[in-house]
Amino acid sequence: MLCKKLVSLFTIFIAVLFLTACGGSIEKKIIGSWKAVADGKTGQYIEIGEERLINRSESISAEYILTETQSDTFMLEIINPEDGIPIPFFEGYFESKDEIKVVKMMGESIDNAEFIRVENIEEEQEKDKKAQEAEEKKRNSKDNESQKEQKRQAKQADDTQKETETAEIINDELERFTAASEYIMELIDQGRLGEAKGRLNLLSKSITSQEHNSSLRAMDDMIESAKYEREQERISPNYSSLKEEYAHKARMLDEDIEQKYKGDVGIGAYGDYLDDWDGLLNEVWGVLADSMPKDKFDQLKQEQINWVQEKDANYEKARGEIDAKDRLTNTTRERTYYLIENYLDL
């Protein structure tokens, strides 16, 4: 009976010695100086003693725990000096006595990472520094060549740009002239001669090409001719109907604006006549209310309500723009002419 107990105790003792030897083997093997390498690039240098780990790259020192796992790896945890709680540092295995393959770093899986044993950290850091300086010099040399090539390409692009700028300016000026002249012709057709004159003056100042001079003079002649015809109508009005009477009033309001600004109504000034056009519109509306058949007037009244709502909505959208009130005034003016031409004397 005693022999059996001794055998059992001996077996347990041998197992304890075996486990202690295995654990001590890793603890002894890991003591030393190491450099971390990931994807071929050196990271930090650490020095592992019997009880503490020193991060030589960041001058950090802490106690550590070394634990073997069931997957033939070991895990090194750093003890947080503030609360004593272990923090996972890395998990890995010895590929050789001088190389540790890392499978996890800070609890996260990682590939192509390892610790390489070094004899002297200062010497290794100096080697790394020289290698980095050589790499930096090589990179700077490439950068200089790249900068020279970029400058050459930039100069070539600049020369090309300058060659095309003249043609682009000419094309741009032609587009601006075409758009502006079309709008001026619309203003002339609408009898807004002062605004047309102002737009024409601005266009003349912005155009550098001489080839547009004849077109500019032609538009100016059209404006002056329209002014003369309007003056002749002012001198001897002859009304044969309400339509003619109120059409004349509308034209005379246009003429008053023209005369005040001497044919050069600036942007923003036309809006000062909103009340005048609004007043004439209300006057025309009163005549229509008295002269139109009730059923047709009721139909027109609904149309007028829709027009007012649309006019107000458009003005709210454009309120912040410099010519918003100009456009509102012109909308009222066009509505006045529309009612005169289409509903008076029906």
Q: Where are the domains of the chain?
A: 22-126, 143-236, 238-346
Highest mean pLDDT: which range of 1-15, 86-100, 132-146, 221-235: 86-100
Looking at residue 265, the DSSP 8-state letter turns out to be: -
Q: Give residue-wise pLDDT tens across range 259-302.
A: 777 656 667 677 888 899 999 999 999 999 999 999 999 999 99
Interval 69-98: pLDDT, tens: 888 899 999 999 899 999 999 999 999 999
Q: What is the pLDDT of residue 332?
A: 95
With a CB cutoff of 8 Å and minimum separation 6, the contacts of 345 are 241, 242, 243
Average pLDDT over every residue of 179-199: 88
CATH number corresponding to 22-126: 2.40.128
On the question of pLDDT at 10 being above 50, the answer is: no
User: Rounded to 5 degrees, what are φ and ψ at 36?
Assistant: -85, 135
Q: What is the CA radius of gyration of the chain?
A: 47
At residue 189, the pLDDT reads: 87
| Range in 27-31, 74-78, 235-239 with the lowest mean pLDDT | 235-239
d(CA 42, CA 53): 18
Token pair in block for residue 326: 């100009």
- Tell whether the model's pLDDT for residue 1 goes beyond 60: no
Residues 6+ apart with CB under 8 A from 142: none
* Over residues 130-158, mean pLDDT: 85
Phi and psi at residue 333, to the nearest 5° = -60, -45
Lowest mean pLDDT among 5-19, 61-75, 188-202, 203-217: 5-19
Residue-averaged pLDDT of the chain: 84
Give start and end residues of each alpha helix (H) in 190-241. 193-206, 213-235
Q: Among 61-70, 83-92, 156-165, whose mean pLDDT is lowest?
A: 156-165
- Pairwise CA distance, residues 263 & 265, whole Å: 6
Judge residue 71's burial from the number of C-beta atoms within 10 Å of its C-beta, 0-12 exposed, 13-18 middle, 19 or more buried: exposed
Helix axes 213-235, 242-260, angle to 10 degrees: 130
Tell me, rounded to whole angstroms, the distance of Cα 94 from its chain centroid: 53
User: Which of 250, 248, 239, 340 is CA-nearest to residue 291?
Assistant: 340
Please tell me the predicted confidence (pLDDT) of residue 271.
82
- Higher local confidence (pLDDT), 320 or 275: 275
CA distance 30 to 28: 6
Pairing of strands 60-68, 52-55: antiparallel
Instruction: Report the amino acid identity of residue 196.
Output: A
Mean pLDDT: which of 201-205, 262-266, 297-301, 342-346 is highest? Answer: 297-301
Q: What are phi and psi of 108, to 5 degrees?
A: -110, 140
Query: Dihedrals φ, ψ of 91, to 5°?
Result: -130, 135
Share of the chain above pLDDT 90, in %: 43
What's this model's pTM, rounded to 2 decimal places? 0.38
**Statement: residue 16 has pLDDT above 60:** no
